[in-house]
Structure formats: C-alpha cells, structure tokens
Structure 1
Amino acid sequence: MISISFGLFFSVFTLMIVWGLVGLWIVDSLRQIRKYWEPAEYKIINCPQCHYKFFIFPRHPQAQCPACGQVVHPKIRKQKHLKY
C-alpha cells in the first residue's frame, strides 16, 4: 500500500515538474516571437542626388538609394512611431 501511494505521488510530482518546464518554454518562446511582431524603428531620408525618399534602419545607417544607386550617409532625425 505504501509503495503504491509513493509511486502515485512520484508520478504526479514528475508530471508537475515536466508540465512546469513545458509552460516555461512556451512562455519564453512567446516572448521571443513578440520581439519580431513589434514594428521596427526606421528613419525616412532623402537622397541628396535625386531627392528620392526612402527609409533606413538605424542599425545600418549607411544606405544605398534604390532610385539612383548613390550611397547615402544620412543625418538621422527622430521620427514618430506610427500608431496602428
């Protein structure tokens, strides 16, 4: 009788630990996915040669104009976030 109750307790305890770890893994995965769902910050700049407007990401501040191909080193100005 004691061995049956101990085995039942051990199996329930093990299942609780396993489901707790699975839950933590799911929460961590959702946190990682949420990073990519948030809109990225970008800056709108003008090409000095052809005056074409395009956007760049601040982590890659050197950009190439898609219209004329000139490499642009922008003076980055802060843009307001778009609200959806």
Structure 2
Amino acid sequence: MSKFQMFDSVTLNQDIQLHSGGIAPQGTDGVIVEIFKDGEAYLVELFGGWLKFTTEGEMIEASQDDPKSFRDTLDVETLYPHQIN
C-alpha cells in the first residue's frame, strides 16, 4: 500500500541531485504528482521560493502573503519513500 496519496504535500529528508542540474536541499517542499507500483516510487514536483510577475512581465522574488505570488518549480523528480516525509 502506498505511504502517500496523489497531491500529498511532502518534504525532502535529504539532499537530492536534480536531473536539470543543481541540488534540492533537505527541507525542500514538493507535491506527489504520480505514484509508481503502489508506492514503490513517486513523481514529485519540487518547489523553490515564492515569485511574482511585475507589470513589465519580469519575474521577481515575492512574499507568500502576496496574492499574486506563486511557487517556483525547481524540477519534477522520481523519488523513493525513504527520501520524503
């Protein structure tokens, strides 16, 4: 049986090497977007900081309290149950 369900919020409990380059550090937030083989692995969208678009269309850092802000997607990675909480 799967430890997590679709769209559950999760947190990395270790640093993860990203396929796109760089590292997602322990504590990075994510969400389950696909479950493989009844929970043997998960496809997880990992999130970075809060951003928003300026009136000129530029992306800048923002506060999560700003109603126009959104979370930056770092990457989408296949992770295993021991890597996430």
Identify whether the pair has TM-score above 0.5, normalized to the shorter chain: no
Structure number with the bigger relative contact order (C-alpha 8 A, sep ≥ 6) is: 2
Greater percentage in helix:
1
Considering fraction of residues, name the structure with more strand.
Answer: 2
Q: TM-score normalised to the size of structure 2?
A: 0.25
